[in-house]
Amino acid sequence: MLPRCAVGVCHVLMLVLCVSAAEDFDWTKNHHGSFYYGTFPAGFSWGAGGSAYQTEGAWDKDGKGLSIWDVFSHKKGKIQQNDTGDFSCEGYYKVKDDVSLMKELRLNHYRFSISWPRLLPTGIKSDHVNEKGIQYYDHLINHLLENKITPIVTLYHWDLPQVLQEKYGGWQNISMVNYFNEFANLCFERFGDRVKYWITFNNPWSVAVEGYETGEHAPGLRLRGTGAYRAAHHIIKAHAKVWHTYDTQWRGKQKGLVGIALSGEWGEPVDISNQKDIEAAERYVQFHLGWFATPIFHGDYPQVMKDFIGRKSVQQGLGTSRLPTFSPQEKSYIKGTCDFLGIGHFTTRYITQKNNPSGRSSSNYFSDRDLAELVDPRWPDPGSEWLYAVPWGFRRLLNFVKTQYGNPMIYVTENGVSEKMLCTELCDEWRIQYYKDYINEMLKAIKDGVNVKGYTAWSLLDKFEWDEGFSERFGLYYVDFRNKNKPRYPKASVQFYKRIISSNGFPNQREVENWRRKAVETCSSSNQLLAADPLTSHMEMVTEIVVPTVCTLSILLSAIFLMFLLRRRN
């Protein structure tokens, strides 16, 4: 998520500048609006995803330990409506149902995460391994494989065991590196015969910035100016260690791949003729994606981060930079620890240069960058406040990855859009539009030579959206959270995404337009829930509607019959 306060207000300026700003690098010579009809390379992997805390529920069941998100969400005032992930989609109990939804979509892969405290309740392997937790993931993995769906497994999607937070301060402490490595090693040992795609961390930018700098996410710490850099430093070391563990101990027999999933939003200069804006936009991307990708591909932090944070630290009168340093040995140990790069991408910003004075109290990650983020008011923003649909930014980001990091193998690990709705809306035309345009920009990027091997729609289900609770829905499937059975209903985008998958791309304009029309026909705004495909898990729901109706009818009929009898007696 991007900070709300950072979204700019210079709309008038934007309206003038965004048109020229959009026409620069030669790999986007095509007009933005032009749609590219064509197919993806053979074997391209189509998927959808979710994560443990966002979907599983069963927060205190079968021996699971507490995570920092269990504790954080139970504190009043941290999450919209004080929602928690205690039950969420109850995915823990619905493996079979959910795998049938994936089959309906004809997915090639499913991306999910393993809850560390479900396997290791205290986070520490020597304390206790929870076999019930192992059984749950065994069941999920086996069921996916039986249905020919490849599991892509994330080891850390933000749910650190609470004990590790309380005892050591979580990612502020270097000891996490070894604890995480032991957890990862256990996963390789128990699941690695079947899992061939491992992601160490999901979106460490959020863990560092929102967990330790702004405090919007668990563990909710506000260690401004240092907390995020320190957390990131340990996360990068932990990632590298786990990659080496797999490389030396497991790769030979298991033959899998280990990568990391980074979030990368694109930053476009407000004024492409202004060198300062060009540099500011580059800085925006380097402070976000580059912060993690540059050490992993090149061995050290981006030069621009070292320069800016170092200079500002000196101005504050500090003896050393707030950005920690890697020793030469650490640099070579970290460099090259990525078999594939996961990219989570949702949106784009216009960026302009803005100097921030560096005072002791004002210095933080955001001000270190010396820039301002702006948006074009014409960009669609159907859901989350920070999420504007800007498809062309996706192609630019993918090309940036190609040129900066030596054209690595890429899996898009997250891409999608949310809605903020009070009432049920299954006719999600804006999501169809978003997927259509973003997937098309990815296709263009592949034609540019970017090595994208797979795409993960985010997300399969509506789910717990962190500090936004259940107020933002990213799912292809709608989940009725008010019903204790958490029934799932397909939104129109299910039909559309399914067609992209079965055609492995976009055949021609007429057909793609037909897909859209048909998808929207399958839902109707007046009778959305009942118009949706009936699924087994809906049965309960239907019963709840039917039973009162039958009851009411029986009472009415009995009353009429009684009146009829009474009349005859009179």
Q: Pick the closer one to ligand NOJ by CB: 151 or 469.
A: 469
Q: Applying CB under 6 A, which of residues 1, 351, 439, 541 lies at the interface with ligand NOJ?
A: 1
Q: Pick the closer one to ligand NOJ by CB: 308 or 481.
A: 481
Largest CA distance in the chain: 104
The interface with ligand NOJ within residues 454-483 (CB under 6 A) comprises 465, 474
Instruction: Give me the least distance between CB of 475 and ligand NOJ, in Å please.
Output: 10
Is residue 341 part of the contact set for ligand NOJ (CB under 6 A)?
no
Contact 374, 6 (CB under 8 A): no
Q: Pick the closer one to ligand NOJ by CB: 215 or 264.
A: 264
Instruction: Give me the least distance between CB of 394 and ligand NOJ, in Å please.
Output: 15
- What is the dihedral angle through the alpha carbons of 485, 99, 193, 181, rounded to the nearest 10 degrees? -50
The interface with ligand NOJ within residues 518-557 (CB under 6 A) comprises none
Q: Pick the closer one to ligand NOJ by CB: 441 or 467.
A: 467
The CA R_g of the chain, rounded to the nearest whole Å, is 25
Is residue 414 part of the contact set for ligand NOJ (CB under 6 A)?
yes
Residue-level length of the chain: 570
User: How many chain residues bind ligand NOJ (CB under 6 A)?
Assistant: 9
- What are the tokens at 56? 């599983």
Q: Applying CB under 6 A, which of residues 88, 203, 337, 537 lies at the interface with ligand NOJ?
A: 203
Nearest CA among 25, 133, 107, 137 for reference residue 398: 25
Q: Pick the closer one to ligand NOJ by CB: 14 or 260.
A: 260
Q: Which helix (H) or strand (E) holds 299?
A: none
Kind of pairing, strands 348-353 and 266-269? parallel
Q: Pick the closer one to ligand NOJ by CB: 1 or 280.
A: 1
Instruction: Give me the least distance between CB of 202 and ligand NOJ, in Å please.
Output: 5
Instruction: Give me the least distance between CB of 537 and ligand NOJ, in Å please.
Output: 22
The interface with ligand NOJ within residues 215-244 (CB under 6 A) comprises none
Instruction: Collapse the DSSP code of 261 into the 3-class scheme (helix H, G, I; strand E, B; otherwise coil) and give the result.
Output: strand
Instruction: Give me the least distance between CB of 385 and ligand NOJ, in Å please.
Output: 11
Q: Pick the closer one to ligand NOJ by CB: 7 or 10.
A: 7
Phi, psi (5° rounding) for residue 413? -95, -15
- Distance between CA atoms of 469 and 481, rounded to whole angstroms? 11
Spacing of C-alpha 13 from chain mean position: 31
Instruction: Give me the least distance between CB of 7 and ligand NOJ, in Å please.
Output: 15
- The residues pairing with 153 across neighbouring beta strands, listed in sequence order, are 112, 198
- Distance between CA atoms of 209 and 213, rounded to whole angstroms? 5
Is residue 150 part of the contact set for ligand NOJ (CB under 6 A)?
no
Residue 216 known to be catalytic = no
CA torsion sign for 197, 48, 507, 32 is negative
Instruction: Collapse the DSSP code of 60 into the 3-class scheme (helix H, G, I; strand E, B; otherwise coil) and give the result.
Output: coil
Q: Pick the closer one to ligand NOJ by CB: 282 or 467.
A: 467
Q: Applying CB under 6 A, which of residues 51, 67, 495, 537 lies at the interface with ligand NOJ?
A: 51
Is residue 428 part of the contact set for ligand NOJ (CB under 6 A)?
no
Q: By rule CB under 6 A, what string of x and - marks binding of each residue 342-381 to ligand NOJ? A: --x-------------------------------------
Long-range contacts of 389-392 (CB under 8 A, 24+ apart): 389/347, 389/417, 389/430, 389/433, 389/434, 389/437, 389/438, 390/266, 390/347, 390/348, 391/32, 391/434, 391/437, 391/438, 391/440, 391/441, 392/22, 392/28, 392/32, 392/348, 392/441
Instruction: Give me the least distance between CB of 25 and ligand NOJ, in Å please.
Output: 26
| Marked catalytic residue, from 90, 414, 419, 441 | 414
- Distance between CA atoms of 250 and 228, rounded to whole angstroms? 32
Residue 342: how many other CB atoms lie within 10 Å: 26
Instruction: Give me the least distance between CB of 401 and ligand NOJ, in Å please.
Output: 17
Residue type, 113: S
- Distance between CA atoms of 419 and 400, rounded to whole angstroms? 29
Q: Pick the closer one to ligand NOJ by CB: 386 or 405.
A: 386
Instruction: Give me the least distance between CB of 362 and ligand NOJ, in Å please.
Output: 28
- What is the DSSP code (8-state) at residue 52? H
For 270, residues 6+ apart whose C-beta sits below 8 A from its C-beta are 13, 14, 17, 18, 21, 277, 350, 351, 352, 374
Contact 440, 398 (CB under 8 A): no
Is residue 181 part of the contact set for ligand NOJ (CB under 6 A)?
no
Q: Tell me the residue number closest to ligand NOJ, measured at CB.
A: 203
Cis peptide bond N-terminal to 524, omega within 30: no
Q: Pick the closer one to ligand NOJ by CB: 370 or 467.
A: 467
Instruction: Give me the least distance between CB of 83 and ligand NOJ, in Å please.
Output: 14
Q: Annotate 443-458 with b (16+ C-beta within 10 A) or e (fewer).
A: bbbbebebbbebbbbb
Instruction: Give me the least distance between CB of 345 and ligand NOJ, in Å please.
Output: 10
Q: Applying CB under 6 A, which of residues 28, 150, 154, 202 lies at the interface with ligand NOJ?
A: 202
Q: Pick the closer one to ligand NOJ by CB: 8 or 204.
A: 204
Active site residues: 414
Binding site for ligand NOJ (CB under 6 A): 1, 51, 54, 202-203, 344, 414, 465, 474
